[in-house]
C-alpha cells in the first residue's frame, strides 16, 4: 500500500475500503481477547472458518476475530451481524449449528443469554441487560473491528479525528481538550488539557509523549482490552496529542503480562506506518511522529510516572520526588507528557464530536464515560463503560447482576491497592473522581472488586498491604519499613495473635506513611487499611478480642486461642 | 564465559534492538525468552554489548519480577495472585500446586520439570482463579483441578 500523502488520499482510501465491503454479507464476530482465550476462542474461530467453507457460505458470511467487548464472564462470545444476534459460552462443537442457522435465517436458542431476573432468552446484543445501561463510547468499537486490520478501523471512521485535528492549530486542540473537561483515567484524575499545555509551553525543543499501558492494578483489565481490541484508537489519540504538544517521539509502556496487547499494538504501529499515519510527514502536513513500544518487567511501581520514565531510560524503576514536574523535566530530562491508555482513547472522540457534546456526559467535575473492570464476587464479570456519575448500585446490581451464589454484598474496592473499600451503606453514591475521594477511596484506573459476605476485611487489608510491601521499590524508608510492620501486624491479627493496641498502632503508622512517603505508592498505601478499619472495625475487633474471623476466611489456629 | 549459543542470542537480541541502551528491559526480556533465564555470563555479555555497567544490568535484572537469575523448569507455571483471583480463592489453588510439586512459589522442581511462580493479574480476571502454564490459560481453577491440569505438561 502506498503512503497517504494528503487528506484527499485518506478520503479516497476510505471510500475504496467501504466500497469493497458488501453490506448484505453477514459477519460472525468472535471475541479473541485474552479472557476468551482461556475459554478456547482460538479453536472456536478456526471452527467457524472451516464450517463456513464446508457449508458453502463463504460468499455470504465473513468470519471476524474481534477484541474484548467486555462481557468476559460469558465467553467465548459470538455476535452475528447485521442481525445483531448474541451468542454466549460458544464451544467448537456448537459451531456447525450456528453457521447452519445463519444460512436458514434462524437462531440457536440454547446459546442465547438468559436474563436471570425474568428467565427470558435474549436474542439481540442490544437487549442484553449487561450492556443496556452502559454507554460504550470507547469499548463499544472493540466488537466492531478486527484489531489487526487498520482497514476495519478506517471503515468505522477511524483517523477522521486525526485529519480534523491536523487542520486545527495545536492551541485550538488543547483548548478543545480543556473545554471537554477530560481528566486522566490512570489514577489521579489530572485535567488532561492543562497537562498538555504545560508540556507544550515548556522551554525545550525536544518533547516526549508516553502512553501508560502498565495497568498495574491487579484485577483491572480495561487498558488490556483497549490495546488488544482497538489499538488504533489509542494511536490516533496519541498522534493528535503529539501534534498538539509539539512532540515527535512517543513511547508506549506496556505490561509484559499482556503478550497479546504487545503483539496487536506492534501490528497496529506497523500498519499505521505503512499508511503514513505515523512517521515522517504525516498525511503530507509536514508533521513527524514516531512511536516505540517498550515492555515492562512486572513491577507495579513502574506505573508511577517518574518510575516509568526511569524504566524507559533502561534503569531500575524507582520514583523520584516531583519538585519539578515531568511535564517540565521527564524522560531524559525533557518535557514529557504521560497519559493513561484510556485517556488517549478519549481524545479522538472529543475531536470528532466537539467539547460541547462531550462535556454534556458525566457530572460537574468529571466528564465523559469511564470503563470499570467489574470483578470478584459478581455475577456478570467484565468491563463496564458508564457515564461518570452512575451510582455504584447501578453498576453492581443492574449491570453486574448482583452477587452470585445467593450471598450478600459486603463491599466494593475501587482504585486498586491505592483505593479503599466502600460499604453497602454508600451504594447510592454517584461514581466520579470527587465522590470517590470524599469516600476515602479513589477512582484509580477503574478496578472494581466486589466482595461478598464471605470475604474477610482484615484479610483484604492484609492482602493489599502484602502486595504493596512486595511492590515497594525500597527507596524511601516510610514505605519500605512502614508497610513491613503493617503487614506483620495485620498477619498477626489474621492468625489470632492480634493485640488490643494494634488498631491504634496501625492508624498511627498509616498516618506517618501517608505523610512521609516519597511517592504515591506509599502515600496511598494506607487507604485499604484505613478504610477497612473505618467501615469494618467490628471485624478487626472480633479477630483481636474473640479470636474469630466472622467471614470464616482466616485460619485462626487453636493455639492462638488462650 | 558465556557459551557460544548464549553469546549468539545476546548478539542477535542486541542487534534487533539496535544496541539501544534505553531498551535494557526489553533486551533482557527477549534474552530470557530464548535462554529461559539470565545466567551471570549473559548479564556480563549484555553489559559489554550495550556499553552499560554490569551493576546496572544486574540491578535491573533483579528489580523486575519478570527476570530469573537461576535456571527455570521446562514448564513455567504462573498462578495469578491478583485481587480478582484472590477473592475467588487463588491462595488455595497455589497451596495445592505447592503441595503437589513439593516446591514453594519461586522455586523449581529438582528434575527441572516445573517452575512455580506467581503473577499479579494477567487480565483474564473474569475467569479467576487463573493459572497459566507456558502459554496456556487455565481459568476457573480449583484445588481439585490441579492434578489433571498439571498432567498435561511433561
Ligand atoms: C504506584 C502507582 C502505580 C500506577 N500505575 C498506573 C498504571 O498502571 N497505569 C496508569 O495509567 N497510571 C498509573 N499510575 C498513575 C500515573 O502515575 C499517572 O498519574 C498517569 O499515568 C497519568 O495519566 P493520566 O493523567 O492520563 O491519568 C500509577 C501511579 C502510582 C503512584
Ligand atoms: S475477552 Fe472475550 S469478552 Fe472479554
Ligand atoms: S486478578 Fe487474576 S487475572 Fe486479573
pLDDT of residue B1: 55
Is residue A486 helix, strand or coil? helix
A369-411 pLDDT, tens digit per residue, is 999 999 999 999 999 999 999 999 999 999 999 999 899 999 9
Q: Using 50, 70 and 90 to split pLDDT, how confident is the model at A146? A: very high
Inspect the interface and report whether the beta carbons of A258 and B123 lie closer than 8 Å.
Answer: yes
Inspect the interface and report whether the beta carbons of A72 and B67 lie closer than 8 Å.
Answer: no
Closest Cβ–Cβ partner in B63, B83, B139 for A218: B83
Share of chain A above pLDDT 70, in %: 99
Strands A113-114 and A121-122: antiparallel
Q: Using 50, 70 and 90 to split pLDDT, how confident is the model at A365? A: very high
User: How big is the CA angle at B146 (ends B144 and B147), to the nearest 5 degrees?
Assistant: 95
A478 C-beta closer than 6 A to ligand 2: no
Domain A369-452 listed as CATH 3.10.20.600: yes
Residue A11 has pLDDT above 70, yes or no: yes
Inspect the interface and report whether the beta carbons of B124 and A295 lie closer than 8 Å.
Answer: no
The arithmetic mean of pLDDT across residues A338-362, rounded, is 97
Chain A: give the shortest CA distance to residue B28, in Å: 9
Inspect the interface and report whether the beta carbons of A39 and B139 lie closer than 8 Å.
Answer: yes
A199-208 pLDDT, tens digit per residue, is 999 999 999 9
Q: Is B83 part of the contact surface with chain A (CB cutoff 8 Å)? A: yes
Q: Using 50, 70 and 90 to split pLDDT, how confident is the model at A298? A: confident
Q: Using 50, 70 and 90 to split pLDDT, how confident is the model at B21? A: confident
Chain center to CA of A337: 19
Which residue of chain A is at minimal alpha-carbon distance from B47?
Answer: A314
- Which ligand has its closest atom nearest to the C-alpha of A35? 2
- Residues facing B79 on adjacent strands: B118, B131
Rg of the Cα trace of chain B?
Answer: 17
DSSP string, B7-72: HHHHHHHHHHTTT-GGGHHHHHHHHHHHHSS--HHHHHHHHHHHT--HHHHHHHHHHSTT--SS--
Q: Alpha-carbon distance A47 to A45, whole Å?
A: 5
Task: Retrieve residue B151's grid coordinates.
Answer: 498432567
- Which ligand has its closest atom nearest to the C-alpha of A86? 2
Residue ranges per domain, chain A? 24-125, 144-358, 369-452, 457-561
Atom index in ligand 1 nearest the CA of residue A189 equals 27
pLDDT of residue B66: 85
What CATH architecture applies to the domain A457-561? Answer: Up-down Bundle (1.20)
B-interface mutation test, from A264, A301, A314, most B Cβ less than 10 A away: A314
- What's the gap in Å between A520 CA and the centre of ligand 1? 10
Q: Alpha-carbon distance B31 to B33, whole Å?
A: 5
A473 C-beta closer than 6 A to ligand 1: no
The arithmetic mean of pLDDT across residues A46-62, rounded, is 94
The arithmetic mean of pLDDT across residues A539-558, rounded, is 89
Residue B122 has pLDDT above 70, yes or no: yes
Chain A: give the shortest CA distance to residue B72, in Å: 17
The arithmetic mean of pLDDT across residues A243-264, rounded, is 95
Atom index in ligand 2 nearest the CA of residue A33 equals 1
- What's the gap in Å between B75 CA and the centre of ligand 1? 33
Residues of A in contact with B82 (CB under 8 A): 218-219
Q: Do domains A144-358 and A369-452 have the same CATH topology?
A: no
For domain A144-358, the CATH superfamily is: NADH-ubiquinone oxidoreductase 51kDa subunit (3.40.50.11540)
B75-117 pLDDT, tens digit per residue, is 999 999 998 899 888 999 999 999 999 999 999 999 999 999 9
A67 C-beta closer than 6 A to ligand 2: no
Atom index in ligand 2 nearest the CA of residue A69 equals 3
A-interface mutation test, from B65, B80, B84, B135, most A Cβ less than 10 A away: B84
Q: Which residue has the higher pLDDT, A252 or A37?
A: A252
Closest Cβ–Cβ partner in B23, B60, B83 for A316: B60
pLDDT of residue A107: 95
- Residues facing A213 on adjacent strands: A254
What mean pLDDT value characterizes chain A? 93
- Which ligand has its closest atom nearest to the C-alpha of A73? 2
Task: State the angle between helix axes of A170-180 and A341-353 in degrees (0 to 180), rounded to the nearest 10.
Answer: 100
Mutate to test the pocket of ligand 3, among B93, B122, B138, B139 (most ligand atoms within 8 A of CB): B122
A23-39 pLDDT, tens digit per residue, is 889 999 999 998 898 88
pLDDT of residue B123: 84
Which residue of chain B is at minimal alpha-carbon distance from A292?
Answer: B23
Inspect the interface and report whether the beta carbons of B124 and A72 lie closer than 8 Å.
Answer: yes
- What's the gap in Å between B121 CA and the centre of ligand 3? 4
Reading phi first (left if > 0) and then psi (alpha if -120 to 50, else beta), residue B102 is in left
Q: Is B129 part of the contact surface with chain A (CB cutoff 8 Å)? A: no
Is A447:A217 a contact under the CB 8 Å cutoff?
yes
- Predicted ipTM of the assembly: 0.86
Q: Using 50, 70 and 90 to split pLDDT, how confident is the model at A102? A: very high
| Pocket lined around ligand 3, Cβ cut-off 6 Å | A 218-219; B 80, 82-85, 121-125, 128, 130
Domain A24-125 listed as CATH 3.30.70.20: no
User: Which residues are within 8 A (CB) of B63 and not within 5 positions of it... i.e. 6 or more apart?
Assistant: A297, A299, A316, A317, A473
A175-190 pLDDT, tens digit per residue, is 999 999 999 999 889 9
Residues of B in contact with A70 (CB under 8 A): none
Q: Write down the H helix ranges in A431-501.
A: 433-438, 457-471, 477-494
Mutate to test the pocket of ligand 3, among B79, B80, B117 (most ligand atoms within 8 A of CB): B80
Q: Alpha-carbon distance A557 to A497, whole Å?
A: 9
pLDDT of residue A1: 66
Which residue of chain B is at minimal alpha-carbon distance from A41?
Answer: B137
Task: Retrieve residue A216's grid coordinates.
Answer: 498495574
Residues of A in contact with B123 (CB under 8 A): 34-35, 215, 221, 224-225, 257-258, 261
Q: Using 50, 70 and 90 to split pLDDT, how confident is the model at A562? A: very low
Q: Using 50, 70 and 90 to split pLDDT, how confident is the model at A561? A: very low
Amino acid at each position: 500500500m502506498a503512503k497517504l500523502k494528503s487528506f484527499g488520499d485518506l478520503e479516497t482510501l476510505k471510500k475504496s475500503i467501504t466500497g469493497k465491503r458488501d453490506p448484505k454479507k453477514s459477519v460472525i464476530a468472535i471475541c479473541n481477547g485474552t479472557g476468551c482465550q482461556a475459554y478456547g476462542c482460538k479453536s472456536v474461530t478456526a471452527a467457524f472458518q472451516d464450517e463456513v467453507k464446508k457449508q458453502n457460505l463463504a460468499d455470504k458470511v465473513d468470519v471476524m476475530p474481534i477484541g474484548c467487548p467486555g462481557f468476559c464472564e460469558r465467553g467465548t462470545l459470538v455476535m452475528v451481524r447485521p442481525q445483531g444476534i448474541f451468542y454466549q459460552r460458544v464451544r467448537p462443537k456448537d459451531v456447525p449449528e450456528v453457521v447452519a442457522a445463519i444460512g436458514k435465517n434462524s437462531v440457536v436458542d440454547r446459546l442465547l443469554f438468559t436474563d436471570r431476573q425474568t428467565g427470558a432468552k435474549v436474542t439481540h446484543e442490544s437487549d442484553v441487560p449487561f450492556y443496556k445501561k452502559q454507554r460504550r463510547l470507547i469499548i463499544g468499537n472493540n466488537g466492531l473491528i478486527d484489531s489487526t486490520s487498520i482497514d476495519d478501523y478506517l471503515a468505522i471512521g477511524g483517523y477522521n479525528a486525526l485529519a480534523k485535528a491536523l487542520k486545527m492549530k495545536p492551541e485550538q486542540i488543547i483548548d478543545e481538550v480543556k473545554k471537554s473537561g477530560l481528566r486522566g483515567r490512570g489514577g489521579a484524575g489530572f485535567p488532561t488539557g492543562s497537562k498538555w499545555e504545560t508540556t507544550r509551553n515548556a522551554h525545550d525543543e525536544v518533547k516526549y509523549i508516553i502512553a501508560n499501558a502498565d495497568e498495574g492494578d491487579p484485577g483491572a483489565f480495561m487498558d488490556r482490552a483497549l490495546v488488544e481490541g482497538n489499538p488504533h484508537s489509542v494511536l490516533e489519540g496519541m498522534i493528535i496529542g503529539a501534534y498538539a504538544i509539539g512532540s515527535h517521539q512517543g513511547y508506549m509502556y506496556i505490561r509484559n503480562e499482556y503478550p497479546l496487547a504487545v503483539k496487536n499494538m506492534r501490528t497496529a504501529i506497523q500498519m499505521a506506518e505503512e499508511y503514513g499515519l505515523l512517521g515522517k510527514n504525516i498525511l503530507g502536513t509536514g508533521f513527524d511522529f514516531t512511536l516505540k513500544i517498550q515492555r515492562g518487567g512486572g513491577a507495579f511501581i513502574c506505573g508511577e510516572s517518574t518510575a516509568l520514565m526511569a524504566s524507559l531510560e533502561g534503569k531500575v524503576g524507582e520514583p523520584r520526588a516531583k519538585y519539578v514536574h515531568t511535564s517540565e523535566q521527564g524522560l531524559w530530562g525533557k518535557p514529557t507528557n504521560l497519559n493513561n491508555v484510556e485517556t488517549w482513547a478519549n481524545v479522538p472522540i472529543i475531536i470528532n464530536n466537539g467539547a460541547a457534546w462531550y462535556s454534556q456526559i458525566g457530572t460537574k467535575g468529571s466528564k465523559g464515560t469511564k470503563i470499570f473492570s467489574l470483578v470478584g464476587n459478581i455475577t456478570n464479570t467484565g468491563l463496564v463503560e458508564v457515564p461518570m456519575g452512575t451510582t455504584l448500585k447501578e453498576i453492581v446490581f443492574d449491570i453486574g447482576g448482583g452477587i452470585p451464589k445467593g450471598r450478600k454484598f459486603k463491599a466494593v474496592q475501587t482504585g486498586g491497592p491505592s483505593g479503599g473499600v466502600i460499604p453497602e451503606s454508600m451504594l447510592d453514591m454517584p461514581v466520579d473522581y470527587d465522590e470517590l475521594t470524599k469516600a476515602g477511596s479513589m477512582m484509580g484506573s477503574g478496578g472494581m472488586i466486589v466482595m461478598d459476605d464471605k470475604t474477610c476485611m482484615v484479610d483484604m487489608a492484609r492482602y493489599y498491604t502484602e502486595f504493596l510491601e512486595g511492590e515497594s521499590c525500597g527507596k524511601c524508608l516510610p514505605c519500605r519499613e512502614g508497610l513491613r510492620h503493617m503487614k506483620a501486624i495485620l498477619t498477626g491479627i489474621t492468625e489470632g495473635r492480634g493485640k488490643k493496641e494494634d488498631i491504634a498502632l496501625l492508624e498511627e503508622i498509616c498516618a506517618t506513611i501517608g505523610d512521609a512517603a516519597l511517592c504515591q505508592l506509599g502515600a496511598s498505601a494506607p487507604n485499604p487499611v484505613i478504610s477497612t478499619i473505618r467501615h469494618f472495625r467490628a471485624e478487626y475487633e472480633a479477630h483481636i478480642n474473640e479470636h474469630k474471623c466472622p467471614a470464616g476466611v482466616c485460619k485462626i489456629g487453636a493455639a492462638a486461642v488462650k | 564465559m558465556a557459551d557460544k549459543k548464549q553469546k549468539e542470542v545476546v548478539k542477535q537480541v542486541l542487534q534487533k534492538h539496535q544496541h539501544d541502551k534505553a531498551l535494557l528491559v526489553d533486551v533482557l526480556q527477549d534474552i530470557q525468552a530464548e535462554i529461559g533465564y539470565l545466567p551471570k555470563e549473559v548479564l556480563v555479555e549484555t553489559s559489554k554489548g550495550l556499553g552499560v555497567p554490569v551493576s546496572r544490568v544486574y540491578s535491573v535484572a533483579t528489580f523486575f519480577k519478570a527476570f530469573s537469575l537461576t535456571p527455570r523448569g521446562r514448564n513455567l507455571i504462573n498462578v495469578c495472585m491478583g485481587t480478582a483471583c484472590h477473592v475467588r480463592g487463588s491462595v488455595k489453588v497455589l497451596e495445592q500446586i505447592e503441595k503437589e510439586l513439593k516446591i514453594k512459589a519461586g522455586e523449581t522442581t529438582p528434575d527441572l520439570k516445573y517452575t512455580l511462580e506467581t503473577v499479579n493479574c494477567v487480565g483474564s480476571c473474569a475467569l479467576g482463579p487463573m493459572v497459566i502454564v507456558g502459554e496456556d490459560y487455565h481459568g476457573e481453577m480449583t484445588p481439585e483441578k490441579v492434578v489433571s491440569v498439571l498432567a498435561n505438561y511433561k
